[in-house]
Amino acid sequence: MRVGYLGPRGTFSEEASLRYFEGQDVDYHMYPSILDVLDAVQEQEIDFGVVPIENSIEGSVTMTLDGLSKDPDLFIVAEVVLPIEQNLLANVGTLVSDIREIWSHPQALAQCRDFIRGLGARGKAWDSTASAAAEVAASGRKDVGAIGNSWAAKKFGLVILQSNLQDASENHTRFVVVRREEKALSDADKSMLLVTLNEERAGALVHVLNVFAALNLNLTRLESRPTRKKLGTYQFFIDVEAGWQHDHLQKAISVIGTFGHQVRVLGSYRKSKKI
């Protein structure tokens, strides 16, 4: 089975993939961006893609949400929640006080905003934490550092100047495992829906939410993203504690449909246990 994730070696996405597929016969493929992973699933270059979707400090990975909403063939079949420990990585001989720039993935920079400001350094965005680490190593510079996984330090010959430096000690990222065709798992106990309202009218969202409440369906997340059609218009990503085949969820989807709104099931899977 072919599994793709955001590379190069040493990303948090790699860690999530290895943990989720541990013990299985897997041929791993790395891609330079999250959108490339989703495209590769869509084009069936790989069977599964593993992408980050949400972080406890910084919130949604908007690139993933937008990629999922754009592509009607993608389906989430699992989630993996990983503890994230951010580290300051640098070339041997670098002093923390000499660091002027910190390179990393935007999610990692955001998780360490206070730390970076405290150093008086500037952040610079790369496609992944590990690509930032690789670039720091290749540059040989002693006035830059990278923020990332301790695995990346080993892979690129960097030293860890400081560990566990994210702005809140509790730091978890939820990754999702995506495949192309729908595969409804009979033991799924959680689903992700994408609701697009057909009109803007007072109470439209409340009516949708009331359907879930009336059917005793617990919502664990509600995230809005712009429709990209007009300022002030949104789509809603809704996580529900019920498998896709659950009677109540089927009923909710059909009732919301009768209101004229669009509902797409983005995935259905078993709730992750924290690793």
Ligand X SMILES: O=C(O)C(=O)Cc1ccccc1
From 11, 64, 94, 173, the catalytic residue: 173
Judged by CB under 6 A, the residue of 87, 107, 191, 268 near ligand X is 107
Q: Which one of the spans 6-14, 138-146, 155-163, 203-211 is the region binding ligand X (CB under 6 A)?
A: 6-14
User: Which of 49, 267, 57 is CA-nearest to residue 166?
Assistant: 57
CB of 138 to ligand X, least distance (A): 17
CA distance linking residue 25 with residue 48, whole number of Å: 13
Say whether residue 17 binds ligand X (CB under 6 A): no
CA–chain centroid gap for 149, Å, is: 16
Of 13 and 60, the one with the shorter C-beta distance to ligand X is: 13
Question: Which residue out of 156, 175, 236, 237 is catalytically annotated?
Answer: 175
Name the one range near ligand X by CB under 6 A: 19-27, 104-112, 159-167, 232-240: 104-112
The site for ligand X, by CB under 6 A, has a size of 14
For Cα atoms 171, 74, 231, give the angle at the middle one, nearest 5 degrees: 75
Q: Are 92 and 159 in contact (CB under 8 A)?
A: yes
The yes or no reply on residue 130 touching ligand X (CB under 6 A) is yes
Write the CA distances from 88 to 51, 83, 151, 156, integer angstroms: 23, 17, 12, 13
Alpha-carbon dihedral sign for residues 194, 198, 199, 201: negative
Is residue 87 near ligand X by the rule CB under 6 A? no
Binding site for ligand X (CB under 6 A): 6, 11-13, 52, 55, 84, 105, 107-108, 128-130, 173
Residues taking part in catalysis: 173, 175
